[in-house]
Copies of this chain bind each other. A is one copy, B any other.
């Protein structure tokens, strides 16, 4: 099996892919859009995309790919704990660190640590935590924020482990593919819909189609349509499988009242969801 992920090796995307399919051949892609394309074109069997972080919230790029760029279905989800480390080239001393590289999300997740321990260090943006390690190894007086595996892969070592500001930092990844998993008894369904007009109450009516059937909505989000400012596509996660009787009935009602309805998939819920 071949599994595409947002590379390079050493990112949390790779960690998610390794956890999900330890024996698979992993294919590093330069963007989440490229992950979806790799699966769409048959270059990979499955794709792994980060969809939500417990601190930063949804990954907009992934939501937009599911909305606009693919008809692949979510097969599964998994939660990966995010542990950031401060890493540098072997022999580097913590007192000598004057510049710190990382992805802006990782810099943000370690802001209090950085302000407390490196108030005068210069922060520099990198395209990924893995690239940050490469930059740190190449520059004198530099360190990076990344996971321990990236340090090993790119010839760095860990100066300080677990530097993220909040201990419960985790990212939810979805596995996308061409299949449609059957009901497991413990599923989540993810959908997106929009309306032709913005009459007061349309969104409430849509939510009522779920709640009146006792279906628990676990997430509610909006994304811009990209056409007109102030027009939104609504994304809803709810408990249950699209083939369950109540869910199937709610989806028929939603299809009738929306101008577009897209089902991203029904898939087994991760334990903590």
List chain A positions with a Cβ less than 8 A from chain B.
Answer: 52-57, 60-61, 79, 103-104, 108, 123-127, 166, 168, 170, 172, 198-201, 203-205, 207-208, 210-212, 214-224, 226-230, 232, 234, 272-273
Residues from chain B with a CB closer than 8 A to the CB of A203 are 207, 211, 217, 220
CA of A83 to CA of B21, assembled, Å = 43
CA of A168 to CA of B226, assembled, Å = 8
Task: Please give me the residue from chain B that is nearest to A103 by CB atom.
Answer: B125
Task: Pick 6 A–B contacts, CB within 8 A, sort by A.
Answer: A57-B224, A200-B216, A203-B211, A204-B210, A221-B222, A230-B273
Which residue of B103, B127, B204 contacts A123 across the interface (Cβ within 8 Å)? B127
Residues from chain B with a CB closer than 8 A to the CB of A123 are 127
Copies in the complex: 2
- Determine whether the beta carbon of A127 is less than 8 Å from that of B127: no
Q: Which of A216, A219, A229 has the most CB of B within 10 A?
A: A229
Task: Please give me the residue from chain B that is nearest to A226 by CB atom.
Answer: B55
Residues from chain B with a CB closer than 8 A to the CB of A166 are 226
Residues from chain B with a CB closer than 8 A to the CB of A168 are 226-229
Task: Please give me the residue from chain B that is nearest to A31 by CB atom.
Answer: B111
Q: Beyond A54-B226, A57-B224, A103-B125, list 6 extra A-B contacts (CB 8 Å).
A: A54-B224, A79-B229, A123-B127, A201-B211, A207-B207, A218-B230
